[in-house]
Amino acid sequence: MQSPALNTEPATVEADRLWRLIAGHLREACILRRQGRHHAATAILERELPPLIREWSAQCALPTEEAKARLNQLFSDEQARVESHWIIARFLTDKTTPVASVDRLVAFPAALPGQQCAFGQATSHSTSAAMFFPSIAPRRIPIADVVDMIDASQEIARAAALQQ
Amino acid sequence: MNSSSTSAVLEETSVQTATDTLLVGLDLGTNTSALLASSHKSNDISIRELIPSIVGYAKDGILDGVLPGNATVLFGNEALKRKLYVNLVRPLKGGTIADLDSARHFARHLRSRLSISPNTEIRAVIGVPAKADPSAREALRQAVTGVFDKVLFIPEPFLAALGLRDESRLGDAAYADPVRNSLFIDIGGGSTDLCLMRGYYPQAEDQISTTFAGDAIDQMVHNAILQTYPDCQISLHKVCDIKERHSFVMSPETQVVVDLVVAGRTRQFDVTEQLGAGCDALLKHLLDLSRTLIARADPDAVPELLQNIVLTGGGSLVRGLGVALQTLLIEDGYENPKVSVIGPNYKEQVARGALKAARQAKERQWQTILR
């Protein structure tokens, strides 16, 4: 007979994996909503997240109330993170922002040392908003969503031009 | 307005004076360009052209009547047919503009293929390589300035997927949606691109690209032939022609014997080994790159993915390539892989996707180019 510890360990690993997936989806939905892509955000919130949350709830072995509280906290955290990055990005792309202020903001640790920024380039001293704001990085766009794909491809091209 | 752009590109603000709109799907390929056009009022494709992406400039001192209409510039097959009398220039290399002047001439030639009334607005969706940087896009923009009224540049992998998909059959249970979970291998002239298609627009980690493609094989075969037969005279164009007619992997159906010139006299040479070595090198590259990309796929998705490995591009027409890749994958331990080849229609795929995108693009997304 296996010990309880051996039985629960794979479930914990799986719960962690699902938690990371949920966080990623939530962040993506917040970004899409902030960009005004409500249709795409709703698709994630209504179609992609519920099965993940159900699966995580089954795997995490937490009491229902605690699981709910953790999910609410995650949602608030991700929303706050996106809002904060959004403001920074707007500030950096605003041509009226004094250069000195931009330089101070560039020192803001958007990515941890060694982490890659939105476009896979190592973070460097630059006034480009692209490296701070993940919304202009490639994101998941369904093949059938031609309009969203064109928007994304234009955003990427604009950001790349800004970086250059 | 795009602040980085040096050409005259404006967002949609102009007053509409056109009475009709022609939608164009354009794939500017390194070797061949595909042009499809259709009125926005109709689903029928009114213009469908495949044109070798090559411009021929008349050599100095050409006698009257040698070139049709004493033309100073020829395009596509016309230029290739008269290559002795013209300087051939390829406007693109590796999928991006390499020579802006010839690219402009070529774009104007493409425009001339569209028979339209004066008040027709031309809106073109043009494929760009996924890895095209801002300068590559800018060069393309400059090349088509004055050619089309409105443009949209969209990455080719997306257009290829869109072009291949048959939306009318999506409700059909027997239809395997080619972009739901598949591995696309596009072997072009300047690059070979592998892409995992998972139902959404491919991201950077879903793609691998190498410059080992058609042109590299031509060069390899060219070098091998000259090493074996140093006296023969053979151009890269001739090698490309031989490859397109006789290429094979694994083993040839018959020996490849071609006529080549030695000191002005035509002699026959067996180039089977040299051609086979070039094509086998491509196969080895494909196997290595496929392994890398399959390893990046979600393990749960791999069984279905292996059923949908799609070869496209000019290189996919190498005889036996699909079967050979499938065999090597099986020998490598992959379970029941299935490799399919799109066939000669591959050339229209990106342009077909571009035309579909043109139909769905929103007014705000088009960029107006000042004539």
Residues of chain A contacting residue B365, judged by C-beta atoms under 8 Å apart = 147, 150-151, 154
Location of structure tokens 């020996």: B255
- For residue B4, give the nearest of A140, A154, A164 by CB distance: A164
Of A49-63, A116-130, B190-204, B307-321, the poorest mean pLDDT is in A116-130
Answer yes or no: do B199 and A141 touch at CB < 8 A. Answer: no
Compare CB distances from A141 to B179, B201, B360 and report the shortest one's residue: B201
Closest CB to B200 among A141, A146, A158: A141
Q: How far is CA B248 from the centre of its chain?
A: 20
* A140 touches B: beta carbon within 8 Å: yes
> Which positions 172-191 of B are in contact with A (Cβ < 8 Å)?
179
Contact (Cβ atoms closer than 8 angstroms) between residue A10 and residue A29: no
* pLDDT computed for residue A102 by the predictor: 45
Residues from chain B that touch A164, judged by Cβ atoms under 8 A, are 4, 133-135
Amino acid identity of residue B209, one-letter, is: S
Residues 6+ apart with CB under 8 A from B134: A157, A160, A161, A164, B4
Burial of B3 (0-12, 13-18, 19+ CB in 10 A): exposed
Contact B33, B110 (CB under 8 A): yes
Q: What percent of chain B has pLDDT over 70?
A: 94
pLDDT at B313: 86
pLDDT value at residue A76 = 81
Strand partners, B21: B121
Q: What is the ipTM of this complex?
A: 0.74
Closest chain B C-alpha to A162 CA, distance in angstroms:
7
- Which of the four pLDDT bands, split at 50, 70 and 90, describes residue A2? very low
Q: Is the per-residue pLDDT at A162 higher than 80?
A: no
Which chain B residue is nearest to residue A148, measuring alpha carbons?
Answer: B361
Report the SS3 class of residue B73. Answer: strand
Contact B180, B199 (CB under 8 A): yes
Residues of B in contact with A161 (CB under 8 A): 2-5, 134
Q: How far apart are the first and last CA of chain B?
A: 16
Q: Do A146 and B155 touch (CB under 8 A)?
A: no
Pair of tokens at residue A11: 């479930």
Contacts of A146 in chain B (CB under 8 A): 162, 356-357, 360-361
Q: What is the DSSP letter of A45?
A: I
DSSP letters for A124-153:
-S---GGGT-GGGS----BTT-HHHHHHHH
Strand, coil or helix: B325: helix
Size of interface A-B (CB pairs under 8 A): 65
Instruction: For residue B111, report the phi and psi dihedrals to the nearest 5 degrees.
Output: -60, -40
Q: Are strands B47-52 and B73-75 parallel, antiparallel or unpaired?
A: unpaired
Local confidence band at A4 (pLDDT 50, 70, 90 cut-offs): very low
The stretch B35-60 carries a mean pLDDT of 92
Q: What is the pLDDT of residues B226-245, one digit of tens each?
A: 999 999 989 998 999 999 99
B204, pLDDT greater than 60: yes
> Both tokens of residue A98?
């004094």
The pLDDT assigned to B28 comes to 93
Interchain CB distance below 8 Å, B200 and A142: yes
Cβ within 8 Å of A, B 3-32:
3-5
CA proximity to B214, closest of B90, B30, B76, B26: B30
Contact assignment for A143 to B153 by CB distance below 8 Å: no
pLDDT of residue A142: 78
pLDDT for A100 equals: 47
Which tops the pLDDT comparison, B130 or B247?
B247
Q: What is the mean pLDDT of chain B?
A: 87
Q: What local confidence, expressed as pLDDT, does residue A120 receive?
A: 31
* Mean pLDDT, all residues of chain A: 66
Asked if B179 and A153 come within 8 Å (Cβ–Cβ), the reply is: no
**pLDDT band at B183, cuts 50/70/90?**
very high
Percent with pLDDT over 90 in chain A? 1
- Is the pLDDT assigned to residue B249 strictly greater than 70? yes
Separation between Cα atoms, residue A47 and residue A49, nearest integer Å = 6
pLDDT of amino acid B17: 58
